[in-house]
Each structure stands twice: as C-alpha cells, then as structure tokens.
Structure 1
Amino acid sequence: MIRRRSLLAMLAASTTVSAGAGGLSSPVRAAPRDTLTIGLTQYPGTLNPMIDSMLAKSYVLGASQRQLTIEGHDWEPVPQLVVKLPSLEDGDAERFPSKTEAGEPVDGVRKTYALRDDAYWGDGTPVTTADVLFGWEVGRHPDTGVANFRAYRDVLDIVVHDDKRFTVVERKLDYRYRSMGDFQVLPVHLERPAFAEPREYRNRTLYQTDPANPGLWNGPYRVARVETGARIVLARNEHWKGTRPAFDRVEVRAIENTSALEANLLSGSIDMIAGELGLAVDQAIAFEKRHGDRFAVLYQPGLVYEHLDVMLDNPVLADRRVRQALILAVDRQAISDRLFAGKQPVADGFVHPLDRVHASDSVPTYGFDPSRAAALLEEAGWPPGPQGVRMNGKGERLSVELMTTAGNRTRELVEQVLADYWKRVGVETRIRNEPARVFFGETVQKRRFTGLAMFAWLSAPESLPRTTLHSESIPTEANNWAGQNATGFRNAEMDRLIDAAEIELDPDRRKALWAEMQRIYATELPAIPLYFRAEPYILPNWLTGVRPTGHKYTTTNWIEDWRVAE
C-alpha cells in the first residue's frame, strides 16, 4: 500500500514528466500562412450533427456546420443561420394554451424565425425551410436515436411561410424559448435517401459514408478529406457569404496521446493545440514554463465537468452508500492542488460556480474522510476480507471497473491515483481504457461499461440536465441509444424538477428548483464529481482572434475571425 506522501510525490512528479516530453523537440518550422493545423486528443465517431455526443465532432462542426442559434461569448443566445431571435416583447413570439404530454395545462409558444438570405450549403444550394423541416423530421423520429431528442419532440409543428420564414410551435414556453437549442438543420436535397430506413440512418447518413460531399456543409469551411481516426481536412466553403476565413485549409489532427500531442507541436507538425480537447492543465503549465516565449498559453475556466459516470445497473454500485464511500475515500483537493496547481477546482456537483444557477448552501459536500468511507462500506455489507479487499457475505470481492479515454496521460494518472485511494479502504479497481471514438461511440452511449466511466460534460450556461439526468433519456436498444443518461439514473423527484424548471420563466423561482436538483444529485451521486476543468489553449504567437467561450460552443464557431498577425 502506497503511503500518502508517496501519492503526493507521484502527483508532483507528473509535472516533471510533462516537461520532459518537451526535451524531445526540434526547432519549430515557419508556419504556412495558407494552412492551419490543429491538434486534438480525440477523433469524432461521426460527423452527423444529430448522432452521438462528442466534443471532437462539435469542434469540427463549429467550423463547417452552423446552427440556427447558439450561445455566444457573453453566455447569451445569438443567431447563426437566422436573422434575429424572436421575443414576446417584439411580437414575433406569442403564448398559446397548450398541454404537456401528460395532459396538464401549460403555456406553449409560437416563435417566428427568418433564415439568412446569404446561407448556402457548400454545393451552392440555399439553406431553406425545407432543411429545417427535414431536421425536425429526422430528430423527432423515435428510431433515429438522436442525442437530444427533446429538442425535436417538443416541437408540435413548424409552419412554413416561404423558403426563408417559418414559425415553430413548441409544446412549452420555457426559459430558453428565444433559442432553438440543439435543433439541427440538415440538407434535405442530399440526406433524404439515407433516411429511408430511420433506424439505419446513423449508418447510412452521408456524413458517415461521404463526408467530403460539399453539400453537407454550410459554414465557412467544408470537409474536403477524411482519414478515419487520424485527421480531417477542411477547405474554404466557396459559397460561404460571411467574413472570408484567413486560411485556405485547416487540418484537424487526432493525436490521442497527450505527450505525443505536445511533441508534435514542438516539432512543427501541428501549429496549435485546441483548448477544448488538448493538454491537461499540468502539462500546459510545464509547457508554458519551457516554451512560453514561442507560444501563447491561455487558461479558460468554464463549464467543463470531469466526473465518473456510475453504472447504476451494477448491484454493487446501486447502493448509494458505496458511491458515497468512493468519493469520501479520495482526497480530491490534493489532486487539484498537486496535479493542476489549483487551476481546476474540486467539483461538489454538476453545476459550475460560474453558472448563474449554481447553489452552494443546500448542496452536500464530500471532504477527504477515509474513516467515514470505511464505515459506509461496513454498513453496506462489505467487511474487510483477505488480501486487503473487502468481501460480502457471498464471498464476492468489492471490485469495480474503471474506464476512460486511452492515451490521455492525465486521466490515466488520475485513474492510478483513484485506484490507490480506493485500495486503502479495501476496494479493488480494474482499469480498462479504450480509444475515445470507441469509448464514447459504443461503450458509454450504449451503456456497455460495468463500473465507472471517467470523462467530461461540457454544457451551455444554465443547461437543463434533461438529457443526462431525466429518466426518459436513458439510452436503450429500443430507442436506438437516444439520450445521454448513461448511468441509468431514475429519480421521480429529479424528473419533476427538470420538468418544472423548464417552464419556469421567473429566474429566482427557477434558481430554487436548480438548487434542489443539485441537492439530489450530490446526495444520490449518479456520478462521482471530480473537478471543473480549465481549458489550456496553446497557440502560435502569429495567430489572433481565438476567443474561448467557457461553455460548450467551441472557438471554431468564430473561426472566420481568426487571423495571422501582421
């Protein structure tokens, strides 16, 4: 068993390892000004904007596939493909009497949008209301298996006025009504045949079978070439009418090993490392000390929540006392201080303190208390056993599987630290990691992990946790793996609070509902919170205009503003 001081020494030594990787560098080449090469730690499992949820996909789509609306740098909704946001005050949004799916009376909302006249797909076809209608058709079909199906199923109707104007009739008037949220627009002139069999759409979509088709893309760039698992090449979209982007070509390279990612930057094989999916803070701090004269390093705190999803179908982990023991047994503050220099604060729940709905007074917290952890395990029927591993009355060992994305050096180190802490209280840990596209596209999405899955959620401000905590969002084979509640969390009160908060327009009353959600989450622990991440962006000194948001919409949504410094 490793003593506490040995553990902290291991955490402190991790920074030295990161800095050592920089010693393998060769001189940085002169950056070609017609091409920008970006390094990421993940490769997307699909490029279809509706299927699966991976940050690597969002990063690529930010440059190539614009949405109706997103959240901007001020954390408020902004239009992308539409001209303006409707409002009750302006008259382009109005209430009407409606009912919930359960038949309860509620206010609905009709809101009218106008698509931009200068919005085109990459083959020159205008973006029209037909594409909006098709996106709704795909998203609401029960066999499609989209990640956020509620964004489509709560739309009762879309009234088309002409090729550019449409009115969305939504079942409920909610606090985010001006935005279209995760609603995606699809090119009906290309994607219609792939949707002939909705249950097979995720495999037959052109975003999967012919991603270099220009007509799939409506952003400043289009996908020009794909090397699965390795890189995606973006070329200027000739039919983009907005600000002309600075680079003829952008290459997004997936380098899953973070030490290799750093080495590629220093050798000149890539020009920058995306903060959204790049080096961990400890590596970035060490990198900045050694190479800060050649690169700009930006640290962006934000709504990124590193945690352990718990498989609640596992009888061992279904016991709340076991889940609470696992978090009490870990000195998360030591991990934050030693590994991340305090730049990544310990998370007590899923809502970041920067978010306007964060609650602290009513939320239970878990300090480092191995004695209490041991007592809880005793209560749960796991007394000490031979070889230091607890056993129950059936002779079963208290053993849990822990998984994360292979090649992420910091996550793999955190796994070892967690396993060491848990070993001290008699819990055996089996570590099994996978490449990110398999881990997210198959294991997490299809709920194939058996114990704990370490990854991060990146959310928008005041992002209602319907897809991750509502019982309707548990992915199953029957719903074609729709939803993101991979833990299988079922809590009637949480469901009620989510439903109530969605339609509560008063900010103070809504914040009270959020506080109760956070209390239940911290008590029940469907996931074990670790820390809120800071995103280190490592940029060449000659690149300007990269502005992190601190939330789920990536910097690439404004890639046309990136410029080469004079």
Structure 2
Amino acid sequence: MPRLRRSPPRRSRHRPRARARLRAPAVAACRGRPWPSASRRPGQPTRRADDLASRTGALRALRRGLGRPRRGALRPDRIGRAADGGAGATLGDPRLLPGAATRRRHEHRLLPLAARADRRGRRARHRPQHGPASGGRTLRRRSRTGGDRHQPDRHTALISTARAAYVVALGIVLGTACASTPPPRRDLVVGLVGEPRTVFDDDPSARFLAAAVTETLVVRDEHDELVPRLAESVPTLENGALRVVTDDPTAPSGRLVATFRLRDATWQDGEAITASDVRFAWERDSQEAPGTALRWNADRIDRVEVLGPRDLRVLYRDGERWDDYALGPRVLPRHRLLGATAPQLAAYAREPVHAGPFAIAAWLPGNITLSSFKSYALGAPGLGRIEIHFLPTRAAALQALLRGDVDLVPWPVLEADLAKTLDRFADGTRLQAYYKPAEALEVLRFGADPKRFGDASVRKAVELTVDRKSIVDDVFVGRALVPRTYLLPPLWASADETVPAVAPDRDRARALLAGAGFTKGQFGILERAGERMTATVLVAAGSVARTDVARRVAGDLAAVGIAADVRERSLADLRSDIATGRFDLAIAPEDAADPRLASERWAGLVDPWFDVLASAAVAAPDRGEKRAIYAEMERLWASVLPALPLYQELRVDVAPQALADLQPPPSSAPLSWNVYRWTFAR
C-alpha cells in the first residue's frame, strides 16, 4: 500500500494550535501505528490514537457546552466514495484519508470521525470478515447540531427565538421607561451656620427660617420692586389704592392713606386670615422696644382701620412720605396670640403657626425639617420638604457642600473671599455659584475722641493710608467694589458717581499727621503730647472676610505709625459700643437698602445741615426730588467722613444647578424670600 502523504498542519484563526495538530496522529491511528509528530521534541513519547481520540471527544463536548455549533465533518463530494473515485469507502478504510488530506480550510475537522474509525477498526480486526466491514454503510453529512442537514436546525431556531424574545422584552422595557418620565426631585437640604433660639431672632439663620415659614402683605423682589403676597395688590397712586390726604385736621402736613385687600387665604392651622390680624400685629409691634425694626415700622403708622373681613385701611403719620410704606403693616394669628401666656408665646416663637409656604414639622438639635403648606396663598410650593442642617463653622458648611451632604449654602455663610475655591467646584455642572452686589457695605467707623480719631485731619490721613482697592483685590479676588459713600448702587437714591474717588497717598497722610502735631516716637509709633497713637479695631464676629480686612487695615495703619490691635466682638455687643461711643475704630456692616434708614444712622455724626437735608428727603413728594437731596447728603458725608467705606458686600449663594427660580435679592433679605417658587428641573 502506498504511503500516505502527510499534509502539514494548518493553524486556524478560530481554534487553538493544539487542535490543529491532532490530525496527523489521527491518520496514523487509522494505520494502527504511531505517527511521528512534527511538533514532537527529541525524547518525547508518542501519543496513541485512543488517547488522542478521548482528548478530541472532550474538546468537542466542551465546544457543545459553550454553545458553539458543530461544523460539518466531511465534504459531501468525498462521502461514500474512495479518493480515486472508486467504490465507496467504509469506516476504517485508509483510502478515505488521502482525499480528506487535500482539504485545506477544514482539514482538521476529520478528527472526530477518525478517532471513532480507529476504535471501530480495532473491534473489526477481532471479528471474521465476510465482505465489507460491518461499518461499511455510507456516511451522510450531519447538520451543525448533529441532526440531518435536510431537517430544520432546532438548536439555531431556539437561539433565534430566544434572541427575538429578548429583543422584544428589551424594547418593551425601554419604551415604558421613555414613556414614563420620573417625577422631579422635591426635597432640598440647606446648610446654615449657627442655630438660632427662635424663628424671630435677629440672626441670618433665623431670617432664612422666618422667610420660609411666615408671610407678609408685600415684599421686595429680586429687582427691588414691591410685589404683593398676602395682599391682592400693592396700593399705588396709579391704581388709586394710595392717596395723599391734605384736608385731615389731625395731619396738617398731609398723610398717606393706603387701602389693602387681603387674599382669600388661611393660616397653617386652617383659620382664615382677616383684616383684624393686621391690626392686631400693628398693636403688638407698637409695644416693642424702641430701636428695633418692628417698632420703627410701627411708628410710621398712625392707625389701622378694619373695613371688612379682608379689607383694611392704613393711615400713616402726619407728613410721612415713606417709600416702603407697603412694608409697614404685617399679620399675626390673633386667634392664637391674643391672651397667650409667656410659655405659649415662647413655644410660638420656637415653632410658629403662620401663613408661609412651609411649616416646621420637627426641630431637633442641629436640624429642622420644613414641610410644604399645600394651602399657601400663592399656591402649593414646588418643593415638598426642606431639611436645614446647622453647622458650627463656615469651613464645615463648605466641606458638607463638597461632600454632597447639603445642597444649598446661602449668603452670608459663604462670602466672596472664597471665590477661588468656589470656582473650582461650583462651575455650573452640579453646583452653581451666584454672585450679586448687595445694598450693604462694611465701614470703618471712627471714635469721637477729639484727641484721636475725632480730629478731621486724622480721619483724612486714615483715608489716604488704607489701600482699599488692594484689599479688595487680595481678599475678594477683585470681585467686590469699593464704595465712595454710605449709599450704594443699584439703589435708586445712590449718587455714588458724583463723589470723587480717593487714591492712597501715604506721603500726604504723614504730612497731615505731622500738621496735626504727631511726631514719631519709640518703635516708630506716633505720639502727641506724650500720648502714643495706639488704637483697638473692633470687628463684628461671624465673617472671616471681615476679620481679614480688619487685619489688612491694621497693617496699613502701621505703615504711617498708628499701632492698631484687632479684636472680634459679637455684633450685638459691637452695636452697643458704637451707640455709646466706647471705641476707637470699629468695622461693622451697614444696611443701605432703605436710604431713609441708612441716613438716620448718621444723624448727629456728620453736620447739622446733613440732618436738615434728611428731614427734607422724607417730606419730598417723589423719588426724583428725593434723589437730588440724597446726592447732596452723600457729598456732605464724604467730606466730613464719619466713617471710611471699605467694601460693598457681595452676595455669594451656592445651590444645585438644577434648582430653578433661585433669585438672590439685592437687599439684605434672605435667599428664601421666594422659596415657594423653587423647583427642580425635570
């Protein structure tokens, strides 16, 4: 018998090399002897066909277990006949292999049948043969799954059906998800610094709370315009609800009379809000301590008349021309507070039942939960719940914001000195930082001692010494403004542009101090009449930026020989020291939202003519005439210089970028003034 020509094993792209090398030993097994493999190393024993057959069967079983379909084993044109075209070959006939060896692409697929032929051949040698071998029936090509190729491929059909079902189910799920948009988020977590004792404390955290749980007749919006809340409209001269009465014998200078109509609204306990509640609130405010904001507003009103369940008339004092007249009246629940005992009043101050868009659901140490009031006068709020966390410091609030423990941190917790830090993470992707100039400023007040800062020359020298522009650039990254007077833009009464700016000139400052009799003493500290020029700069606590500015001011003063020491004081104590005049220098915030109130704070400290102009501004009939008077007052204030304006406060509020209708006001009002409109975008 001629020797079989060995076809070199080919390497398949889809199968390991070991599978491709099994063909040659399988051919040798058909002849009953070992085949020297090309990959055999010297001294390596040969592998028998039965061992290879078992390995081949295991590989085929592994392929079936992995779900890969079995390919056809033999070519159709070689099945049932010999390689030379003669009679059909039987299993175990070596003539089958030369023809199969001519295959190139699928030659290694003979392995399974060759191994089976080897086993059948060995069994046949032990039986007497009468003609063709018992295994001589012709072979039919099998399908990929082992069945007849003319029958449907059941395995492939099942896979196709399963895949189709999976695609249909996935389409249904995706279609349902697209059709049903998840509802928008309705909860918010706010971080504040310092926990107030009551909702009505004079504290930034308390004011944020009060704006969310209480309501009034009229407020100022983000454009500093009067807008109605519990009142149906703002009384004005145009709509006829505001009149100037000149024929009242009890008001010879004329008086303002405003008529309000309340909305059909209820308190948070379901009781109706009536005009009697407005009069009750004015009567209580008239009994507050002098000097408080409530008492000041109540003193602008002469009386409140109830015209009906929802209608009332407010008569202001003789000669009163207050621009914020609509902010004077407010409401309190008469049915709860009339005749209340001291413990009941204390409990009400802690958890008031009012008419705001939110009510206090729980107040635990360090945390308050506010729930929305569905029957709010302007409609149900967009948010369902607000969690307020009280944190110990500004740094803790900033870290909570970075970690995502809180969503919103309002001004004045965050200030413009954090601009570099805020720009790194509050860039509009997840969080947004809102910067807005406020109608408030920080001033360096001068003590009244004529031997020290009561001297006009000393005050002017301080103005020429302190480099306010450099301080703003360093502390606030150049974002804050240096004001020129006590009134600020965008306030309508401000005439800041009419007052000339003053640049630092320390040589001129030293000359002014020398002209005032000061000489350089020990350690370079100025002296006059044996008294050293040392001072204490009191600064209101609670603002890191304010304290940094105070230290910068002290450093600038040292450059001309004034030794200053910085000490922090609580705002209440500092106000008391300023009122009594017990201070050298003091840095404190000043609210300039109301020009009348801002002017009254400087009464008796500027010039007698300043006080006369202040009274004239109050009596002026319109804003045009008032603005002209305030402009003259600003020029007079800048020349006398009872205080040095340091910087205009810049509001910094950080909130989620998806939180809509967040409108920081220009005044010192809390960010929560319009909390009922806050919603998360879908």
Q: Is the 8 A contact 1:390 1:427 kept in 2?
A: yes
Q: Structure 1 length normalisation: TM-score?
A: 0.78
Distance 2:641 2:344 in 1: 39
The offset of 1:555, in angstroms, is 3.0
CA–CA separation in structure 2 for the residues paired with 1:561 and 1:97 = 41
Which structure has more RCO (C-alpha within 8 Å, separation ≥ 6)?
1
**Which residue of 194, 212, 215 maps to 1:63?**
212
Tell me the CA shift for residue 501 of structure 1: 1.1
Alpha-carbon distance in 1 for matches of 2:310, 2:321: 25
Task: Name the SS for the 2:626 alignment partner.
Answer: helix
CA contact (8 A) 1:314 1:451 kept: no
Q: Equivalent of 2:190, from 17, 38, 45? A: 38
Three-state SS of the structure 1 residue aligned to 2:246 is strand
Contact preservation (8 Å) 1:46, 1:207: no
Mapping of residues 140-289 of structure 1, within 5 Å: 140-141=286-287, 143=289, 145-147=291-293, 149-172=295-318, 176=322, 179-193=325-339, 209-215=347-353, 217-226=354-363, 230-237=366-373, 239-255=375-391, 257-274=393-410, 276-289=411-424
Whole-angstrom distance in 2 between the partners of 1:426 and 1:232? 51
Q: Counterpart of 1:444 in structure 2: which amino acid?
A: R
Q: Under a length normalisation based on structure 2, what TM-score does the superposition of the two structures give?
A: 0.66
Choose the corresponding residue for 2:635, options 519, 537, 545: 519
CA drift of 1:178 comes to 7.2
Equivalent residue number for residue 493 of structure 1 = 609
Give 3-state SS (helix, strand or coil) of 1:61's partner: helix
Q: Deviation string for 1:424-446 (max 9, x for gaps)?
A: 11222222224xxxx23343256
Indicate the RMSD between aligned Cα atoms, in angstroms.
3.2
Find the counterpart in structure 1 of residue 52 from structure 2.
none
Pick aligned residue for 1:427 from 558, 562, 587: 562
User: 1: distance between equivalents of 2:314 and 2:377?
Assistant: 26
Shift of 1:314: 8.7
Code of the aligned partner of 2:286: R
Identity of aligned pairs, percent? 25
Q: Is structure 2 residue 526 aligned with structure 1 residue 390?
A: yes
Quote the residue 1:73 is aligned against. 222
Once residues 240 and 520 of structure 2 are traced to their aligned partners in structure 1, the CA distance between those partners, rounded to angstroms, is 67
Q: How far apart in 1 are the matches of 2:519 and 2:329?
A: 50
Asked if 1 retains the 8 angstrom alpha-carbon contact of 2:596 and 2:614, the reply is no
Distance 2:350 2:287 in 1: 26
Report the Cα distance in structure 2 between the residues aligned to 1:310 and 1:77, rounded to whole angstroms: 35
1:392 and 1:398 in contact (8 A); partners too: no
Q: Distance in 1 between matches of 2:514 and 2:607?
A: 26
The corresponding residue for 1:318 is: 454
**1:106 corresponds to 2:222:** no
Q: Is the 8 A contact 1:465 1:498 kept in 2?
A: no
Quick one: distance in 2 between partners of 1:399 and 1:130? 54
Per the alignment, residue 538 of structure 2 pairs with 402
Q: Aligned-pair distance for 1:190? A: 3.5
State the Cα deviation string for residues 456-498 of structure 1 (Å, max 9, x = none). 3344365652553345xxxxxxxxxxxxxxxxx3643332222
- Match status 1:505 vs 2:621: yes
- Give the number of equivalent residue pairs: 496
1:131: how far off? 2.4
CA distance in 2, matches of 1:244, 1:552: 26
Change (3 A) 1:441 1:256: farther
CA change 1:262–1:426 in 2 (3 A) is: same
1:522 is displaced (CA, Å) by 1.7
The Cα of 1:515 is off from its aligned counterpart by 0.5
The aligned amino acid for 1:39 is G
Q: Distance in 2 between matches of 1:136 and 1:175?
A: 19
Tell me how far apart the structure 1 counterparts of residues 425 and 237 of structure 2 sit (CA, whole Å). 54
Rounded Cα–Cα distance in structure 1 between residues aligned with 2:216 and 2:515: 51
Query: Aligned partners of 2:299 and 2:597: how far apart in 1?
Result: 16
Alpha-carbon distance in structure 2 between the residues aligned to 1:185 and 1:213: 16
Stretches of structure 1 lacking an aligned partner (at least 5 in a row): 1-31, 197-203, 472-488
Query: Is contact 2:484-2:501 (8 Å) kept?
Result: yes
Deviates more, 1:360-369 or 1:164-173: 360-369
Question: CA-to-partner distance for each residue in 1:502-552, whole Å, 9 max, x for gaps?
Answer: 221233321110111212222233332111122222112332221122223
1:413 is aligned to 2:548: yes
5+ residue gaps, structure 2: 1-183
